[in-house]
Structure 1
Amino acid sequence: MRALGYYRTDAPTVGEENGKSQQEFESEFQDYCYVNLHQPVEIFGDLSPADDGKYPEYERLVGYIRDSGSEFLVTVPDATHLGGDLEAVARAFLSLENMGSKVSCQDDDMPDPLQNALVTLGAPGASRERSEKIRMSMQNRALRGKGLGRPPYGYRNGEDGTLEIVKDESPVVELIFRLYTRDRMGMRLIVQHLNERGITTRRGGNWNVVSIRDILKNTVYIGTYTRFGLRLPGSHEAIIPRDVFREAQDIVRERRPLGRVSRPEPYLLSGIAFCESCGNKMMGVTRRQLWRNKDGNRSRATYRYYQCQSRNNQSVCGYHTWREADLEGAVLAQIPLAIEMRALRKLAYRNGGDKSEQALKKIWEERVRNAERRFSQTLRKTASGALKTDQLERALAELDKARTLAEKSDQPVDVSDMLEKWGERDFDEKRDFLLTHVARVEVSDHMARIVA
């Protein structure tokens, strides 16, 4: 394959002792191409960034690929030559890949740029050798049926590393399986049953549908240890008999909805609306009904609501149900006055003493941090092969949007024009507007109050 080389003499991994000369970088590129049967075309090297922070030779590399209209292999000594942090590496990697080029590191042990970046730019002190030793040690423990990490509910890691039953928790596991198999309770009713009786999780919190589902599907409760693709039956004492576990799996399959997969439209206030009673989020709920009329014809309707997530997932709090149109209408009606009041507060507190303004700033900072965490998680999964690069690209786009909206939240806006043409706007325009100018919506049974 035709290959282009690129390096930066100021890359973090170059600044060791005397570094490397340009001739050494070029020689390594030639050697790499010779060994791997690539045709060397040209090499680009930057000594330092320009005043605008961009690397001139990298920009020339991008222009070269774009103008040629051909596919190349772009090779770098390691991922730090693409950027000084994980985000910069991901952006450069995606940019080159989207032009039809392939990117590779001149590192025989770790040629993938994303995997290479996690090692060279990951957590302080991270090293390939240490990571490999940890991985091998964990695999060896798994082969011996030794517990890794936090043990599942009902068990603890014993002194020898094997899973041991926790006598205060195992009866709860037995109760969950009994309610599901013998009493035929659904998962939501089991959640309600446990929470109403004050039976808490290991951390003292309320149960939810996900935690119940995970217990019902976990083979650890029949004494089978599963990790790293290994399956070791009889590695520890079981809490649930195998026939009861199999019955639970049969019920799970029976209750799994078949046929059409429902993909409801997203909700405008997702992540913005919160229950005033418990502080948890209000979630969008879609209900579909089908009935037969007196004339024999069938009718169907779809109803969309916002309800308290605590009630739906943990059977605590109340539903505090609002129809989608009613809640969104109440929010829109308050926006002009809320934004006007915010502007007046700024004039009254020029010295930055407005506590509500400081609270809003924290909300926006948290939204950006959440987007940064999602990007980091997506990068790691993409590097492991669990996700495709287009999902990494979407995570970067969401991060860019979060930062842009945080900056725009402090800028003046023509609210009247936006609201007058609200029905003509698409979902993304409406969502961006709300995310920019509404930090939070507090919802009770009869009132919704926005914080802008």
Structure 2
Amino acid sequence: MRAIGYYRVKDSGSSPEQLGEHMGEQFADYCKRYLHQPMTTFGDDISGDESSTGTSALPGYRQLLDYLKESQSSFLIVVPDATHLGDDLEAVARTMVRLESDGSKVTCNDDDMPDPLQNALATMGVKGVSRTRSERIKESMRERALMGKGLGKPPFGYRNGQDGTVEVVPEERPVVELIYRLYTKDGIGLRLIAQHLNEREIKTRRGGNWNMVTIRDILKNSTYMGTYTRFGLRLPKSHEAIISPQMFRTAQDETRARKPVGRVVNSQPFLLSGMLFCGYCNNKMMGVTRRQSWKRKDGRRSSGVYRYYQCQSRNNMSLCQYHTWRAPLLEGTVMSQLKYALKVGAANGNEAGTDRADEIKAVWDSRMKNADRRFLQAMKRAAKGEMELGVLGEYLKELDKVRRGAENARRPKDVEASLSEWDSMDFGDQQGFLLEHLAKVIVQDDSVDVLV
């Protein structure tokens, strides 16, 4: 295959020219070993400017992009290791997505770890975590696990005993057994299991209500069959089991059987997420997307996508009734009331949202943290081959969108101008405006109360 070499060098006692020559020799040797045709080599000197990762600061990288564009062909792009693609995981991912967007392939001149994403995770680690310290901590925890000692907070049904070993909580054990029996023997789904427990006033460890997430976490946790799994260790019979391995496997088979296969759901975000509260139970309302298909009288099939907001208690805990609003209708109603409230406030000399700066900042900080977490999870999945690189690029776009929203939220806005340009505004800007000017929306079946 036709190959291109690319590298980035820093001042390390040798001149950039000497380092570049050495990199070129390594690239030529790589092509000879693996029978690739070397086409050309590009390099950048990043000495004294380690934070520069944009194309303007990397002329060699810019030349590489121009070469790929003009050639209109696919190449194998060889780098010494992932640090030559960026100085952190995000930068590496962005470079990878850009270089492979036109069909080229990137690889590392590293026989042990040629995949750039795997190489990056191995050499860079997670941002803000010392790899040496991290490995030291992991090794200590592995030793504790091998001795049967509990690590962290054990799941519902277990506790750490006085000697540090994991032991069963007698009063919680029957609840775990009931959950597995309802799921594997009686064929009851997650929501109905949560409803079953809540109706009988069986509480979680924290004294709260059960929901689909807490039920699902119990059903997929191998701890309950006596197996410890963490840090690459898998230790069967490391502690007392609550359920049998056969029942655990049955639960996993049941989960796979219920999961839709071959369908990729790409739901658009909901404008009022996090701002709506049920007027009957005061829990949040969540956006739901439903896809339906049906057969028409003439034999042809039709399909439709329906978006609406529904009480989260009904969805996850079955504690509330079926309170739902179609998304377009509710969003239109909220906007009409908000415009009126803002006009009245302006007429009275009151600026809605001016005293909520800390609250808004906390919301955006949380969103950025979640976007970072989702990107890191996607990076790990892509490194394992479980996700296409193009999908990883979508997570990077989401990260950019959240950052733009956070930046825009810091800037003062002209309310009238924002409302007049509403339909042409970016989704993130719309949501940022609502976060700034909406305190809360209370929703009932026949009324909507907007608080600013």
TM range (shorter): 0.7 to 0.9
Residue type of the alignment partner of 2:287: M
Call closer, same or farther: CA 1:217–1:21 in 2, change over 3 Å. closer
Residues 392-420 of structure 1: CA distance to partner in whole angstroms, max 9, x if unpaired? 1001111222233444555554634656x
Call closer, same or farther: CA 1:160–1:415 in 2, change over 3 Å. same
- Percent identity among equivalent residues? 44
Residues 320-378 of structure 1: CA distance to partner in whole angstroms, max 9, x if unpaired? 43343442221231343466578889x978xxx93124433443343333323322322
Moved more, 54-63 or 403-412: 403-412
Call closer, same or farther: CA 1:55–1:155 in 2, change over 3 Å. same
Q: Which residue of 1 aligns with 2:190?
A: 187
Moved more, 405-414 or 370-379: 405-414
Call closer, same or farther: CA 1:24–1:232 in 2, change over 3 Å. closer
Call closer, same or farther: CA 1:449–1:103 in 2, change over 3 Å. farther
- Cα offset for 1:389? 0.7
Which of 56, 68, 71 lines up with 1:68 in the alignment?
71
1:139-154 matched pairs, under 5 angstroms: 150-154=153-157
Residues 10-47 of structure 1: CA distance to partner in whole angstroms, max 9, x if unpaired? xxxx466x366431332133134314524262332334
CA distance in 2, matches of 1:259, 1:380: 22
Q: Which residue of 1 aligns with 2:375?
A: 375
Length-normalised TM-score, structure 2: 0.73
Q: Which residue of 1 aligns with 2:29?
A: 34
Q: Which residue of 2 aligns with 1:89?
A: 92
CA distance in 2, matches of 1:266, 1:279: 22
Residue type of the alignment partner of 2:315: N
- Cα offset for 1:72? 2.9
Check conservation: 1:75, 1:106, Cα contact below 8 A: yes
Check conservation: 2:190, 2:216, Cα contact below 8 A: yes
3-state SS in 2 of match to 1:444:
strand
CA distance in 2, matches of 1:343, 1:121: 50
3-state SS in 1 of match to 2:114:
coil
Length-normalised TM-score, structure 1: 0.73
CA distance in 1, matches of 2:269, 2:44: 48
Which of 18, 32, 44 lines up with 1:23 in the alignment?
18
- Cα offset for 1:94? 1.3
1:231-246 matched pairs, under 5 angstroms: 236-240=239-243
Gap regions ≥5 residues in structure 1: 291-299, 420-424
Q: Which residue of 1 aligns with 2:216?
A: 213
Check conservation: 2:270, 2:287, Cα contact below 8 A: no
Which of 198, 201, 206 lines up with 2:204 in the alignment?
201
After superposition, the CA RMSD in angstroms is 4.8
Call closer, same or farther: CA 1:330–1:91 in 2, change over 3 Å. same
| Corresponding position: 1:111 with 2:110 | no
CA distance in 2, matches of 1:377, 1:258: 22
3-state SS in 1 of match to 2:25:
helix
Check conservation: 2:42, 2:60, Cα contact below 8 A: no
Gap regions ≥5 residues in structure 2: 295-302
Moved more, 110-119 or 175-184: 175-184
Residue type of the alignment partner of 2:284: N
Call closer, same or farther: CA 1:26–1:263 in 2, change over 3 Å. closer
Check conservation: 2:308, 2:327, Cα contact below 8 A: yes
Call closer, same or farther: CA 1:187–1:102 in 2, change over 3 Å. closer
Moved more, 161-170 or 62-71: 161-170
